[in-house]
Amino acid sequence: MARLKVGVLISGRGSNLQALIEACAEAGFPAEIVLVISNRADAAGLQHAARAKIPSAVVPHRDFADRAAFDAALSARLEAAGAELVCLAGFLRLLTAGFVARWRDRLVNIHPSLLPAFPGFDTHARALAQGVRFSGCTVHFVRAEMDAGPIILQAAVPVLPGDTEDALAARILEAEHRAYPLALRLLGEGRVTVAGERVEIAGFRASAGFVLNPSG
């Protein structure tokens, strides 16, 4: 079966990109990355693409008069590469409503919290300040509002006594590297649909029950 063609947008480190690259390299994985775009030439993630021999492009946002022109350039590159799905992976530019509409239900993001809790920046600091016992990550379809949209999957991690922002971020990042490839697999298998702003996954499997933190 044809593999789902994916474009990935990054701005920095690219550890989620690397997780997606590794997943796509597995035999039988139903997606392939056809293009990586960074808005920053110094994004370390570009090296992951180069190492994997995946085409990449730098599209600096400062080269464009406004957001609409920048987003149009992104779309043009993605379409020229044949991308059917766009994954945001640490892409630090807000996309225009026009771009989001053009890629509606074909544009996904990963955010390091259990949305709708803690959208935006300083996620981990706010989670720690609120004293939540679990945080995690969310893979979701993108809507015009930041860090909002139909949720595809989430991974939860405990918040532990003495956690710093860095410690919590690292624990969540590990979960991200499992969650994003799994979401891409489900998408590539064509099992994910949006119905009334909620995601349905054909063959959805989950175990009932609960996890306590503190566990007593």
Binding mask 93-112 for ligand GRF (x = CB under 6 A): -----------------xxx
SS (H, E, C) 101-130: HHCCCCEEEEECCCCCCCCCCCHHHHHHHH
Is the CB of 84 or the CB of 176 nearer to ligand GRF? 176
Interface with ligand GRF, residue 12, by CB under 6 A = yes
Q: Which of 48, 111, 124, 140 is catalytic?
A: 111
Residue 44 in 3-state DSSP? Answer: coil
177 catalytic per annotation: no
Q: How many CB atoms lie within 10 A of CB 118?
A: 21
Question: Which of 121/200 has CB closer to ligand GRF?
Answer: 121
Contact assessment for residue 155 and residue 174, using Cβ atoms and an 8 Å cutoff: no
Q: Give backbone dihedrals phi and psi of 18, rounded to 5 degrees, phi first.
A: -60, -40
Out of 4, 6, 9, 14, name the contact with ligand GRF by CB under 6 A: 14
Among 135, 176, 179, 199, which residue interacts with ligand GRF (rule: CB under 6 A)? 176
Cα separation, 138 vs 204, whole angstroms: 16
Q: Which residue in the shown chain puts its C-beta closest to ligand GRF?
A: 90
Task: Using CB under 6 A, list all residues that contact ligand GRF.
Answer: 12-17, 45, 89-90, 110-112, 137, 173, 176
Catalytic residues: 111
